[in-house]
Amino acid sequence: MLWLRSIIYYLIITLIALMIGAVHGTIWALGFALIVVAAALLFHLYNLGRLYQWAQQPRVENVPQSYLLWQDVFDKFYDQVRLQKKQQDRLANTLERFTSAGEALPDGVIILDEHDRIEWCNQAASLHLGIDRIADVWQVVTNILRQPSLREYLRTQDFAHPLQLRTTRPTEQVLSVQLVPFDSTRKLLLSRDITQLDRVQTVHRDFIANVSHELRTPLTVVGGFIETMIDIPDLDAATRSQQLQLMYEQTQRMQRLVEDLLTLSKLENGQQLREEEVDVPQLMRLLAAEAEGLSQGRHQIKIGSIAPARLIGNHDELHSAFGNLVSNAIRYTPAGGTITLHWRAEGEHGCFGVEDTGIGIAPEHIPRLTERFYRVDRGRSRATGGTGLGLAIVKHILQRHQAQMVIRSRLGEGSEFSVKFPAQRLLTD
């Protein structure tokens, strides 16, 4: 070992000094010893200086080299620095993996200190809450998100239940926020975007309310007439016949509503699409005949261009979708108007269209027409026998056939509902 070798060297020097003293006297021996001590002192001071300089920037690659005991010291420093570097690299890799995992999370993650100041947040939290990941570090989170409910939530530190926030920055959204402690002072603030779930719940609540409302009116009418017949059993034949006719119309309305609900449920359940070759020109002629029967001569039903192309799809579903578009055109076109059916090839796509000269639709209503029970004019829709589910059914059928519907309309001038099918569903041979 180097320290043992150093002792041996010093013993050898001591023996030399004794030999010089024995031969030349004590003065020569002391002179030699003084020279050796001075050289040793300079050697140690030189290595101490190198050690000091290295300590200013201690790295593995620049550890000094020396002799004797100093080499042993420098080797120990080398081992310590190398071990420390390995530990730092391991910690850096762990931190990098943690950061990468946090960035990959779809939920927002914010690390807060004991004073609710932001120490770190991932990209999702930045998008959810509008946090600047550089400028907002060490800012109190409630100074950035100025919502009283969040301030109260952080004050009470209710870890058991999430808080629902509605924000408008950077976009309008609904967030579920929950506080989770992970050591004695720090805590995680987790955020999840539940905007779509909230919309689904809202649609579900509206759907239940609309179904209840749609069924309540005919049930009230039928119940009232039945009560009248029970209380006045000797009604005259004309009154009884009128009431029975109204009861029949209301039960027919309820039956149509139930049938549309069942159809919509079946489509939303995503049952396997049974595909076949659909002769669209023949279907067009059938739709025109049905339109004549529904119109009872009040409208002019025309067939415009008919391409010879056929479709791959489900005949019954396409018949239902196209039939809904045609019946809507008749329902909202005053007597004397014209309804025109088209089937044409547009490039590699097939396009079915229904054009009318009816009352038209205001632009603000068009994006919501396919919502269940959405009506532009509720009174007119009920008066003409509509259930409010027709276009919702059309939307689901077209989605199952990878088709897109385009609506063009102007108030007082009429509307055109066009359905474009993808090239892979078109047969043109």
How far apart CA 382 and CA 299 sit, in angstroms, is 20
User: In the chain, what percentage of residues exceed pLDDT 90?
Assistant: 14
Give residue-wise pLDDT tens across range 179-215: 888 887 888 899 998 888 887 777 677 677 767 766 7
Residue 1 clears pLDDT 60, i.e. is over it: no
How far apart CA 251 and CA 165 sit, in angstroms, is 44
Please determine, looking at this structure, whether the domain spanning 202-268 carries the CATH number 3.30.499.10: no
Q: Which long-range contacts (CB under 8 A, 24 or more apart) does 376-380 make?
A: 380/332
Mean pLDDT of 6-10: 63
Beta bridge partners of 120: 111
**How crowded is the C-beta side of 124, counted as CA atoms within 13 Å?**
19
Q: pTM surpassing 0.75?
A: no
pLDDT: which is higher, 429 or 226 = 226
Listed in sequence order, the residues at least 6 apart from 163 whose beta carbon sits closer than 8 Å to its beta carbon are 149, 150, 153, 176, 177, 178
Mean pLDDT of 26-44: 74
pLDDT at 56: 82
**Predicted confidence band of residue 263 (pLDDT cuts 50, 70, 90):** confident
pLDDT at 326: 92
Residue 37 clears pLDDT 80, i.e. is over it: no
Contact 387, 264 (CB under 8 A): no
Average pLDDT, the chain: 82
pLDDT at 352: 93
Alpha helices in 145-236 (DSSP H): 148-156, 195-231
pLDDT: which is higher, 159 or 139 = 139
Residue 10 clears pLDDT 70, i.e. is over it: no
Residue 419 clears pLDDT 70, i.e. is over it: yes
How far apart CA 13 and CA 9 sit, in angstroms, is 6
**Predicted confidence band of residue 325 (pLDDT cuts 50, 70, 90):** very high
pLDDT: which is higher, 61 or 150 = 150
Angle at 131 between CA 129 and CA 133, to 5 degrees: 140
Angle at 361 between CA 359 and CA 367, to 5 degrees: 160
Q: Is beta strand 300-306 parallel, antiparallel or unpaired with respect to 338-346?
A: parallel
Residue 163 has which token pair? Answer: 């808080």
Mean pLDDT of 16-33: 69
Q: Same CATH fold, 202-268 and 105-193?
A: no
Return the CATH class of domain 105-193: alpha beta
pLDDT: which is higher, 26 or 277 = 277
pLDDT at 355: 94
Residue 378 clears pLDDT 80, i.e. is over it: no
Mean pLDDT of 350-355: 92
Domain regions of the chain by residue span: 2-99, 105-193, 202-268, 276-427
C-alpha separations of 264 from 24, 326, 413 in Å? 120, 19, 31
Residue 145 clears pLDDT 60, i.e. is over it: yes
**Predicted confidence band of residue 142 (pLDDT cuts 50, 70, 90):** confident
pLDDT at 342: 93
- In terms of average pLDDT, the best of 135-139, 230-234, 345-349, 383-387 is 135-139
pLDDT at 196: 83
Sheet strands (E) in 32-142: 108-112, 118-121
How far apart CA 247 and CA 425 sit, in angstroms, is 45
pLDDT at 322: 92
Residue 50 has which token pair? Answer: 């190198």
Least confident of 128-142, 229-243, 277-291, 318-332: 229-243
CA nearest to 406, candidates 342, 359, 339, 315: 342
pLDDT at 63: 78
Residue 39 clears pLDDT 90, i.e. is over it: no
Return the CATH class of domain 276-427: alpha beta
Q: How far is CA 373 from the centre of its chain?
A: 26
